[in-house]
Every structure is written in C-alpha cells, then in structure tokens.
C-alpha cells in the first residue's frame, strides 16, 4: 500500500523522468496502440486512459518544484522500469565495444541515477501499473505477427555443446532467453533462469582423473539433466561443472521444486564402477514482465544466487526475495 500521497523530485530527477515517461508513451503507441488501431480501426478506452495519465505526468515534470500525486505514481513506476531496462541494454551493447574501465564507468553513470530513484520509498511502496498488452485486444497469432517476433527456439536450428553433444551450446542461451522473455512478457507470464554447479567437482577430477570423468561421469549426468528438462525448457553446458537452465512459464518456487526433484534423483544415479554421487548447487533468478535487468544481468544474478547456495551448505537452491535484485536479499529455499 502506498504510504505517501505525493512524491517530490529534484530538477535532475525530473529531467530523466520526463524523458522516461515520454519514451514509454512512444513505445506503447508504436507497439500496442498502432497495431490495435491498424487491425480494429478503433482505440480501446484502456489505452485512451493510459495515454491521458502519461500526458499528465509529462506535464508535471515541467513544474518546479516537481510534485506527483499518488494516483500517477503507478504509471511513473512502469515508465521507470521500462526506461531503466532499455538504457541498460543500450549501455551493455556499447560497453561491449571497450575494455577501458573509465569509459565503462561513464557509460553506466545514467544507471546510477535510476538506481537512486528506485531506492526511494515511494518507488518501493507503489504497485506498478498493469499496462494494457496487445493480447488484451488481439489474438496471440496476430500479436506475434505484428510484433515481428522471431521463430521459437524449437523451430530454429539447434546446436549442441561441441565436446559432448548432449546439452545445448552456450551460444544459444541469450537468443533463447530473449525469445522466451518477449513471449512470456506478451502473456504476462514469468520465466526462470537457473545456474547449476556440480559440488566439489575438483575432487572428482583428482580421484578419477579428467579423462575418466569426461567418459564415465559427465555424459551420464548431462543425459539425466537433459531428460529432466525435456519439454519444460532448455539446458546449456557452460563448462565442465557449470550449466544454465531456462524455464519459461515458471515462478521461482515452481522452478525450485522442479529442480529439487532433479537434485533428489542424482542420489540414485549410477556411474560405471564409480560409487560416488554427484550433488549440485543451484541459483534461480525469476524474470517478471517488470524485471529491470538485461539478459546478461539476469544471467549474472542467477550465477550470484548459485554462489550463495554453494557458500551456504551446497546441494541446495538459492534465489532472491520477491522483487529484490540485491545479493543481500538472497536466501536458500526450504522445500519439504
């Protein structure tokens, strides 16, 4: 519940917020309103009302001092989430062109202003606006055609990791994540990314040697993982002991329960002339339609959750508290 009736903003904040609202207004116009009007010849009242509120917000940010009443804050929060994610994607792409730390810091400066705004009480205590979606007015078939969505991963040519040919190649993960993120967001659904690491993997290599581990242990383990994930999502081999899993249409608790059953099955998995069992630590990051993280940031957060699981007992599953993106809010999920 909102605890403040009015939110106040500095001139610096007002400038970036005006731009954020205007950008979100343009995005909604181009990606929802234009297509709906093209198909039906009318503008739904939900969109009329939304654009009216966004225009009020833009006008508010021309005042000094800038004050926004609580009724408009849900729209502002949605615009900030949209703008932060778009800016982070842009910065991520440009940062990939340089290894100069000072230049990367300068590129990321704008994100710090977003972080400052998002740390304020009004943002934390405001429920985000449930923005009209194109599928509220058009069928999925027409919505995907209008939005020029790429073919699903199951329709594209799949490639497997070069060494074993069992799990998906790591290069497929980001394109798959983008597709499923767009597809789930279109339907208002979550998806989860899980990072998995084999516990005490060095001990296996030390005791049995890397050639035998590659021949008798890892193929058996990866085959079991592929079978468990089959028809639920995709699994990717990132290294000898690291794997990434993509689970569309799952909340974090559902994903944790699903992956806990895989952890349990590993206790019964047998290897040729090897009695030792494999255990895994797992980190989960849930991506909602209002998630501000880029695809790479989602991957990094899932990896951080996995590290937390390894530091807190191993053979467990860790994730973040609801709508939290900070390492301090990581916790181990207890599953009966």
Whether residues 133 and 162 fall in one domain: no
Provide the domain count of the chain: 2
Q: What is the pLDDT of residue 102?
A: 78
pTM: 0.86
Residue 147 lies in a domain: no
Q: 65 preceded by cis ω (within 30°)? A: yes
Taking only the tens place, the pLDDT of each residue in 173-188 is 999 999 999 999 999 9
Residue 148 lies in a domain: no
Q: What is the pLDDT of residue 181?
A: 94
* Average pLDDT over every residue of 113-128: 90
Whether residues 137 and 166 fall in one domain: no
Q: What is the pLDDT of residue 324?
A: 62
Residue 146 lies in a domain: no
Whether residues 133 and 265 fall in one domain: no
Which of residues 96, 112, 141 is at a domain's end? Answer: 141
DSSP 243-300: EEEEEET--HHHHHHHHHHHHHHHTT--BTTB-PPP-EEEEEEEE-TT----HHHHHH
Q: Which residues contact 55 (CB under 8 A, 6 or more apart)?
A: 25
Whether residues 88 and 214 fall in one domain: no
Q: What is the pLDDT of residue 285?
A: 96
Residue 95 lies in a domain: yes
Please check the confidence at residue 81 and state whether its pLDDT lies above 60. Answer: yes
* Average pLDDT over every residue of 255-278: 92
Taking only the tens place, the pLDDT of each residue in 143-178 is 888 887 766 776 667 899 988 999 999 999 999 999
Whether residues 93 and 129 fall in one domain: yes
Which of residues 141, 162, 184 is at a domain's end? Answer: 141
Note down the domain range covering 124: 6-141
């Amino acid at each position: 519940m909102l605890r403040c009736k009015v939110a106040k903003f500095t001139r610096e904040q007002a400038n970036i917020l005006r731009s954020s609202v205007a950008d979100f207004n343009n995005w909604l116009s181009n990606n929802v309103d234009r297509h709906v009007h093209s198909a039906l010849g009318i503008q739904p009242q939900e969109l009329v009302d939304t654009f009216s509120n966004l225009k009020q917000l833009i006008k508010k940010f021309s005042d000094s001092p800038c004050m926004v009443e609580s009724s408009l804050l849900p729209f502002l929060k949605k615009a900030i989430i949209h703008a932060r994610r778009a800016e982070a994607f842009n910065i991520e792409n440009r940062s990939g062109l340089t290894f100069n730390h000072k230049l990367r810091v300068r590129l990321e400066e704008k994100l710090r202003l977003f972080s400052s705004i998002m740390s304020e009480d009004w943002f934390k205590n405001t429920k985000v606006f449930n923005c009209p979606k194109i599928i509220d007015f058009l069928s999925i078939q027409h919505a995907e055609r209008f939005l020029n969505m790429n073919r699903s991963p199951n329709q594209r040519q799949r490639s497997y990791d070069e060494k074993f040919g069992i799990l998906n190649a790591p290069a497929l993960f980001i394109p798959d994540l983008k597709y499923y993120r767009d597809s789930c967001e279109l339907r208002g659904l979550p998806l989860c990314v899980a990072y998995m690491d084999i516990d005490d993997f060095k001990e296996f290599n030390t005791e049995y040697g890397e050639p035998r581990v590659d021949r008798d242990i890892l193929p058996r383990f990866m085959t079991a993982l592929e079978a468990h994930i089959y028809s639920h999502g995709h699994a990717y081999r990132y290294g000898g002991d690291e794997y990434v899993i993509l689970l569309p249409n799952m909340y974090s608790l559902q994903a944790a329960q699903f992956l806990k059953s895989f952890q349990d099955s590993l206790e019964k998995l047998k290897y040729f002339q090897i009695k030792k069992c494999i255990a895994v630590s797992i980190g989960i990051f849930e991506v909602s339609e209002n998630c501000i993280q880029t695809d790479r940031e989602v991957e990094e957060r899932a990896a951080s959750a996995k590290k937390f699981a390894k530091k807190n007992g191993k053979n467990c599953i860790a994730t973040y508290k609801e709508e939290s993106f900070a390492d301090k809010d990581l916790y181990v999920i207890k599953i009966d």
